[in-house]
């Protein structure tokens, strides 16, 4: 009877430890990575979609449903302005560590659905 009780306690302790490890790993992962998808609606030529907020974005992917020329941008109003132009899609990096906004420009010459995903 006593042996069974000890086993039960050990099982509870083991479960608690595993849960704590799993929770800490999840929390650490969430703290180190943030990403935001934005846009995904139709814009005209030279129009853009933009992230809902500024963040310490490291990368920004831009895409379109039809293709053509796109430009990905990470910028702020303190002098940061990184741009990459590509065909059908684009990715720009910024590694200055400041808060920046993310944009994708439609430079295809016509209207299309464009979207972006930016992450830290």
Partner 1 sequence: MRAIRRFRFVLLAAVVAIVGASAAAIALADTSPGSTLEQIEAQPGPEAFIASYGLKASEGKAAFTLQNGQTVSVIDSGSTRCLLHGVESKVAGRCFTEEAVSAGEAITVGDECGSSGQNRMEITGLAPEGMVGVRLNSSDGTSRETTIVDGAFRFEGTNPTEDGPHPTGVEWLDGNGATLGSAALPVSGDGFCLPTS
Q: What is the 3-state secondary structure (H, E, C) of the chain?
A: CHHHHHHHHHHHHHHHHHHHHHHHHHHHHHHHCCEEEEEEEEECCCCEEECCCCECCCEEEEEECCCCEEEEEEECCCCCEEEEEEECEEEEECCCCCCEEEEEEECCCCCEEEEEEEEC
Interacting residue with partner 1 among 69, 97, 106, 111 (CB under 8 A): 69
Contacting partner 1 (CB under 8 A), which of 15, 19, 26, 65? 65
**Window of 6-14, 23-31, 57-65 that interacts with partner 1 by CB under 8 A:** 57-65
Residue 2 is a binding residue for partner 1 (CB under 8 A) = no
Of the candidate spans 3-11, 13-21, 23-31, 68-76, the one that interacts with partner 1 by CB under 8 A turns out to be: 68-76
Q: Does 38 bind partner 1 (CB under 8 A)?
A: no
User: How many residues bind partner 1, per CB under 8 A?
Assistant: 45
Q: Does 111 bind partner 1 (CB under 8 A)?
A: no
Cα of first residue to Cα of last residue in the chain, in angstroms, is: 54
Interaction site with partner 1 (CB under 8 A): 35, 37, 40, 58-59, 61, 63-67, 69-71, 73, 75-93, 95-96, 103, 105, 107, 113-117, 119
């Amino acid at each position: 009877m006593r042996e069974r009780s000890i086993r039960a306690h050990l099982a509870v302790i083991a479960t608690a430890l595993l849960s704590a490890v799993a929770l800490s790993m999840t929390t650490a992962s969430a703290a180190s990575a943030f990403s935001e998808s934005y846009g995904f609606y139709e814009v005209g030529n030279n129009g853009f979609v933009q992230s809902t907020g500024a963040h310490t974005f490291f990368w920004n992917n831009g895409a379109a449903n039809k293709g053509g020329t796109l430009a990905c941008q990470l910028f702020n109003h303190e002098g940061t302005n990184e741009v990459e132009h590509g065909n059908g899609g684009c990715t720009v990096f910024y590694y200055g560590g400041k808060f920046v906004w993310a944009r994708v420009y439609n430079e295809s010459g016509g209207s299309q659905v464009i979207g972006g995903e930016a992450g830290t």
